[in-house]
Structure 1
Amino acid sequence: MNPPGTQRQVVVLIRGYPGVGKTTVAFALAKELRYCLVCKDDVREAAMRHDANVMAEIRAVCPEQANAIRVDSNDMTYEAMFAVGLTQLKVGAAGVVLESPLGRVALGERAVEITREARALCVLVDCYAERSVWEERLAKRATKRDFRPSSVDQIMNHYSNIEYPMECDAHVSVDCGQPPEENVKKVASVIKQLAADEQDVEHLSSSSSR
């Protein structure tokens, strides 16, 4: 369910460093607006389980070959996330929330590309948190998913810069140290204003063509 006045479909890109709290924001926003939600880590977990099973089978038959194989499911994970999101738009979902670090410019460009393909509005939500809050969250989740970085320094070394500009229709930053409902309210307000601006443009265009 879009905020009142929103007609076009909406893609919300939740971007931020691992562990800052962007998944919490994504879940709260998707639940409040009844948007479809696709989390990159969920897709990657499934891919890694599949890869582990395949590697176990290979190792049982040919250990030497298995030791030489290196599997990187990260790019495939992003493509799967984008594909699922685009399909939800094609079948008429009011909005889609895509949650991931978008750690490279090419990934950000791809995210915008699928939004334009669906002729949807694109809202970028940058998530951040104070270092102390960030470190506490990383410590709590350290044993849950072993493929994710477990320290702020490790994350900063891995991700050179995820705060690159993107050609979205709106951009908002949220402090994940604040209550999720406050961040949801902030993002929903931006979406509503964006929709209102779109309607004003359409109205002016319609009036001038008469």
Structure 2
Amino acid sequence: MMAEGGAKPVPVIVAMKGHPGSGKSTVACAIAAALRCPLLDKDDVRDCTLPLERVDGLAVGMLNELSYAVLWRVVERQVRLGLSVVVDSPLSRRAHLDALTQLPAALVVVVECRPGNEEEWRRRLEGRGAAVVEDYSSGWHKPKTWAELERLRDGYQGCTDYELGDVPRIVVDTTDPTISSEAIAVRVVEFIGSVLACGH
């Protein structure tokens, strides 16, 4: 995005944050389309590790961390090229955010998807879970039921609720029926513009 005063464009990393099924991917697609920039999805990398799940001795956690390591490397490459990117991942741990904020010459903005309507969130999650059962090659590692999501959240032990420090953040309700993903994207783009205008 263009910096104030016609200076060299500042690459922006739009980092999505939120639990599975919270609407991150839908909003991330809309933001990437609005900004006309690459969308890098951690799940695209994780999906490709399915053959490795069956290798004896490989821990599931190792494959998840490998997925993040690949994602961060690709993000870094795009930023070094001067490109803004949208990064779609849960951003569930502070270390994940730190990996992005340590990249040189980029502004990191967090878009936190926080569903206000839990029933709608559950409906979407379980609808997606049914689709995954039919096509196991994509999203096989995501929770498919509300019970699985609750186990996942319990396993995080509160680590997903961390302080962002001075990283700009906008929180959006992805279950509000009066706001489309495109409208959310417009709000996010305006927010980024205001952050850049403040000299971040």
TM category, shorter: 0.7 to 0.9
Match of 1:47 in 2: 49
Aligned residues: percent identity?
A: 28
Provide the alpha-carbon RMSD of the alignment.
Answer: 2.1
Shift of 1:3: 7.0
Shift of 1:33: 0.5
Match of 2:11 in 1: 9
Structure 2, unaligned runs of 5 or more: 133-138
Structure 1, unaligned runs of 5 or more: 56-65, 202-210
Q: Is the 8 A contact 2:28 2:88 kept in 1?
A: yes
1:74 to 64, 82, 96: 64
Shift of 1:160: 2.7
TM-score normalised by structure 2 residue count: 0.82
| CA–CA separation in structure 1 for the residues paired with 2:173 and 2:33 | 19
Q: Is the 8 A contact 1:3 1:188 kept in 2?
A: no
Q: Is the 8 A contact 2:47 2:140 kept in 1?
A: no
1:141 to 125, 128, 133: 128
Q: 1:1-210 residue pairs with structure 2 within 5 A?
A: 2=1, 7-49=9-51, 51-52=52-53, 55=55, 66=56, 68-71=57-60, 72-93=62-83, 95-114=84-103, 117=104, 119-129=105-115, 130-143=117-130, 144=132, 145-150=139-144, 151=146, 152-161=149-158, 162-177=160-175, 178-198=179-199
Query: SS at the partner of 1:181?
Result: helix
| CA–CA separation in structure 2 for the residues paired with 1:92 and 1:172 | 23
Select the structure that is richer in helix. Answer: 1
Aligned length: 181
| CA–CA separation in structure 2 for the residues paired with 1:3 and 1:32 | 14
| CA–CA separation in structure 2 for the residues paired with 1:86 and 1:158 | 29
| CA–CA separation in structure 2 for the residues paired with 1:86 and 1:70 | 26
Runs of 4+ in 1 over 2 A off after TM superposition: 2-7, 68-72, 158-161
Letter in 1 for 2:12: V
TM-score normalised by structure 1 residue count: 0.78
Residues 25/3 of structure 1: CA separation in 2 closer, same or farther (3 Å cut): farther
| CA–CA separation in structure 1 for the residues paired with 2:81 and 2:89 | 23
Q: Is the 8 A contact 2:3 2:197 kept in 1?
A: no
Shift of 1:111: 2.1
Give deviations 1:18-59, integer Å, cap 9, x for gaps.
11110001111001111111111111001223x15x73xxxx
| CA–CA separation in structure 2 for the residues paired with 1:121 and 1:167 | 14
| CA–CA separation in structure 1 for the residues paired with 2:42 and 2:50 | 12
Give deviations 1:157-186, integer Å, cap 9, x for gaps.
133331311235411001112310121011
Letter in 1 for 2:143: P
